[in-house]
Structure 1
Amino acid sequence: MKDMFIQGNEACALGAINAGARFFAGYPISPVNELSEFCSRELPKLGGIFIQMEDEIGGLAAVIGASLGGMKAFTATSGPGFSLMQENLGFAVMAEVPCVLISVQRYGLCTGVATKPGQQDIMQARWGTHGDHPIIALVPSTVQECFDLTVQAFNLSERFSSPVLVLTDAALAHLRERVIIKDEGELNIINRKTPSVSPEEYLPYSPDVNGIPTLAPYGGRHILRVTGLFHDERGFSTSNPEKCRKLLERLHSKILNHQKELPPPKYYGKDGAEIILISYGISARSAREAAERGIKKGINMGMINLQTVWPFPEEHIMNLCDQAEKIFVVELNMGQITGEVQKIFKGKAEVMPILRYDTNVITPSEILDKIESVVK
């Protein structure tokens, strides 16, 4: 165990390495380059592999290949690079390839402002690749959580045989804080299952009782067939309506039926609060401070800090807001998570956005001013 003073990008890289990742492929892009540079130095020391690819498309493709070869593998990108990865992300979901994609969100659409923070890729994380598909997306709000949630991302990717996203932002990526770094031997690490049947009996996409297949690594005696097409348990493509329906339902249910295993929201403030703030990532830091100031002023309020945004933790939020009359959602976009919260509480509680989308991080004073203007 080490006590370190590092930035968010470095914490994510250390989380990946200490979770057992030994392969990184990616392409340079701001504001994630410190993460890639860290991996280029440290992975070879551990017998791992770092590759700078020709673009982000090749980056995720290489990660998928490394994972199918049995390695824990990851990439990191931002904005435009995340857009380029969407087709291969869909392939990883369909082929059930464990891997981790870290997206350091920057401001704006297209190339935006490369060095400024944003939280405008939340819906892209959910729906960026085409077709009905499941996805797990984690959102750290401290540098410690950059480490911790990256470790959890690898565990979840192996547990559910699925890609997992970690969404940070330009501000958190470059923020330096004290972090407790646990070594690989001190962490609870989930490693990939191996086939328990003979090569003759092996069906790569035959699920276990939890709906999760066991993928044998390429190069062994068990034959692994992989395709982005809908397929049967042997891995052969199919257009059979019943098989296609069952596969799509299984891809969703293997995660949705086990949402309790995903990192739950953190709650700060008074129990049974009438005013609740909901936030995530860098914005959650300001929201928590605003809640603490509001409580000191006598406002009956609390704050929910999301750690998982997808699948959206509806049950947790409903339970934490069971007595709320007004709910404020704080984020650096035009209301992407606000809409999800409004769906839950339609007719039950008033849901209002507190938004900022001008390249700056929202402040506690802005948040508290908005609350006081509504509740006084």
Structure 2
Amino acid sequence: MSKAILLQGNEACVMGAIKAGMRLFAGYPITPSSEIAEQSSILLPKVGGKFLQMEDEIASIAAVCGASLAGKKAMTATSGPGFSLKQELIGYAAMAELPIVVAMIMRAGPSTGLPTSPAQGDVMQARWGTHGDHPMITLCPSSVKEMYELTIKAFNFAEMYRTPVLLMTDEVIAHMREGVALEDDYEVVDRVHPAEAPGKDYLPYKVEEGSMVPPMAAYGEGYHFHVTGLSHGETGFPTNTPAVHEKLMARINGKVKENDPNFAINEKYMTDDAEHIFVAYGSVARTSMNIVKRLRSEGIKAGLFTVKMLWPFPKTEYQSLLNENVKNIIVPEMNLGQYVGEVERYTEGKAKVSLIAKASGELFKTEELYNDVMAVISK
């Protein structure tokens, strides 16, 4: 066991990224993610990496896409307004199949909103913020240690599936400090390179039989290939052929499946006999844990499902909770009700689903949430 060190959530994110192999960070400072850029500027040069402070949010993610094409693991970080600006190039990365990571620290919105206050109002934007059909793997830490661990997973998933991945949490987790023991045995995954040597016959989007993820060459290695945000076939060149586009969409969306065992990373606490189950993420999961322990001490059978993989929705894990004991599913969110819609959809009428919403830019206080929960379960 390594010695515990005191870390801020944003600091842990950078350390996890470097552990995963990040060698370029490009960003533009924005509260409450700015410490990610700051720490990247300090730590990356020590491992031979590069830090770029770009002129704006769009240039930042463009640089990250370019670095990925050049064979480097790369990340950017932002918050609400910057996330909106990055949407087009997130979609480009999905279409061109570029492994990149975007750290997204939620604050109260919309627009400039409350820049220093916590919220969870960007959950649906994470999944549906861009146009067109494509998956959006989204991880959500609820502790400083998870900021480290899930950043590593974010890079691993980006490399495994050749897709942009979001690491998304709220301001509380990003700025809180905890003692964290960082282990050395985390798995680090690298993209699959082409088996063939560089040559004119290389097809950048040709997949091996049984796979949906094409090997990825890097510019500068001698391979000659074309990349575009337009629809394309195996050659990477644009095409208007309907059958080719349909095949591409099926592959891009099919490579990220909601029942993928790699995504089964969510946490269950005292759910086996629970009659009232919380579904929570980010800092709200921490408050919910306190409530569950209090309810249990009072003889009320409560449990907690902490969502760490927000998207794709953890259908298999969640539905495994829905036995005949469950009466209430309680979804506390720091928004006016976003993830609760997905929870209700996948509950399929097997239990009552209740939203407890807070959108004041403040944390859920334990007593406040307890009173709201008691009002739900006493009905």
2:277–2:304 contact (8 Å) kept in structure 1: yes
Contact 1:276–1:321, Cα closer than 8 Å, also in 2: no
- Cα contact 1:216–1:223 (8 A) shared by 2: no
Alignment of 1:33-182 (within 5 A): 33-182=34-183
Cα distance, 1:374 vs. partner?
2.8
Counterpart in the other structure of 1:230: 231
Deviations 1:203-259 (A, max 9, x none): 110123220011100012222311000100010111111110111011111011762
Query: What whole-Å deviation, never above 9, does each CA across 1:21-59 have from its counterpart, x for those lacking one?
Result: 010000011111111111111111111000000000000
Mapped partners of 1:322, 1:242: distance in 2:
43
The answer to whether structure 1 residue 291 and structure 2 residue 263 are counterparts is no
Secondary structure of 2:207's counterpart equals coil
Shift of 1:368: 2.2
Superposition pairs of residues 240-255 of structure 1, within 5 angstroms? 240-255=241-256
Which whole-Å CA distance do the structure 2 matches of 1:223 and 1:319 have between them? 48
**Are 2:312 and 1:305 equivalent residues in the alignment?**
no
Map Cα deviations across residues 165-192 of structure 1 (whole Å, 9 max, x no partner).
Answer: 0001111111000112234xx3211012
Residue from 328, 341, 344 that aligns with 1:342: 344
Q: Which amino acid aligns with 1:206?
A: K
- 1:262–1:111: structure 2 CA closer, same or farther, 3 Å change rule? same
Q: CA RMSD in A?
A: 1.3
Amino acid at match of 2:155: F
Indicate conservation of the 8 Å contact 1:77/1:103, yes or no: yes
Partner Cα distance (2:348, 2:91) in 1: 32
| Percentage of pairs with the same residue | 44
Q: Contact 1:269–1:302 at 8 Å: present in 2 too?
A: yes
8 Å contact from structure 2 (residues 259, 315) kept in 1: no
Q: How does 1:178-327 map to 2 (within 5 A)?
A: 178-183=179-184, 186-198=185-197, 199-208=199-208, 209-256=210-257, 259-323=260-324, 324-327=326-329
Decide which moves more: 174-183 or 42-51: 174-183
Task: Give 1:372 deviation, angstroms.
Answer: 1.7
Match of 2:356 in 1: 354
Q: Deviations over 1:59-98 (max 9, x none)?
A: 0000000010000000000010000000000000000000
Q: What is the TM-score normalised by the length of structure 2?
A: 0.96
- Aligned equivalents of 2:363 and 2:177: distance in 1? 16
- SS of the equivalent of 1:137 reads strand
SS at match of 2:22: coil
Which letter does structure 1 place at the counterpart of 2:212? G
238-247 or 315-324, larger mean C-alpha shift: 315-324
Q: Would you say how many aligned residue pairs link Structure 1 and Structure 2?
A: 374
**1:375 CA drift (Å):** 2.4
Distance 1:82 1:271 in 2: 38
Give the match's secondary structure for 2:88: helix
The amino acid that maps onto 1:368 is: Y
Contact 1:3/1:181 (CA < 8 Å) preserved in 2? yes
Report SS of the residue matched to 2:55: coil
**TM-score by structure 1 length?**
0.97
Shift in Å, 1:349: 1.2
Q: Does the C-alpha gap of structure 1 residues 116 and 54 become closer, same or farther in structure 2, counting only changes over 3 Å?
A: same
Contact 1:272–1:321 (CA<8 Å) still a contact in 2? no
Indicate how the Cα distance of structure 1 residues 214 and 43 shifts in structure 2: closer, same or farther if over 3 A, else same.
same
Contact persistence 1:204–1:213 (CA under 8 A)? yes
Distance 2:29 2:174 in 1: 15
